[in-house]
Amino acid sequence: MKRVAKYYDILIMEDRPADIRLIQEALSEVEERINISVAMDGEEGLDFLYQRGEHTDKPIPDLIFLDLNMPKKEGKEVLRVVKNDDRLKAIPIIVLTNSYHPQEILEVYKLHANAYVHKPLDFDDFRKAIAIIVSFWLSTAEIPPKPE
Ligand SMILES: [Mg+2]
């Protein structure tokens, strides 16, 4: 049976304000029942996931958008930590990146990312990509229950 969630919690880990805005807009267009949080570097992202510091009351996300190039702790490092943590590893992580290194695609999947997606350069294509990802994960696939 499909999980009926009142709201889905989505965490965007991204340091580029324009990309954050674009992802937020695209998300809001396809799904109203979402609660979006943003972490602007890898350390803040991990603090959020571990509910440390000012993030003690924050929800564990149902879906994560992860930028690879971020200050303080890069996306691959975040991926390594989360996918090695038994409590957090089931959360789907969608890697969004500007880079085009074939080697990196393999590396990121080996770190157990759930998808590796190039950020489309065109604004509309970017929004379309986000819409497809969200409708797949929230309406077609089952997302895992929140960790205890
Ligand atoms: Mg970046």
The per-residue pLDDT for range 97-135, each reduced to its tens digit, is 987 788 999 999 999 999 999 988 888 898 899 989 998
Number of domains, the chain: 1
In a domain, 80, yes or no: no
Range(s) of the domain holding residue 46: 16-71+104-139
Query: CA 73, 35, 140, 143 torsion: positive or negative?
Result: positive
Token reading at 53: 């510091």
> What is the identity of the amino acid at 62?
D
- Banded model confidence at residue 47, pLDDT cuts 50, 70, 90: very high
In a domain, 127, yes or no: yes
| pTM for this prediction | 0.92
In a domain, 112, yes or no: yes
| Distance from Cα 78 to the centre of ligand 1, integer Å | 13
In a domain, 92, yes or no: no
| Distance from Cα 102 to the centre of ligand 1, integer Å | 18
Q: What is the pLDDT of residues 34-43, one digit of tens each?
A: 899 999 999 9
Q: Is the pLDDT of residue 16 over 90?
A: yes
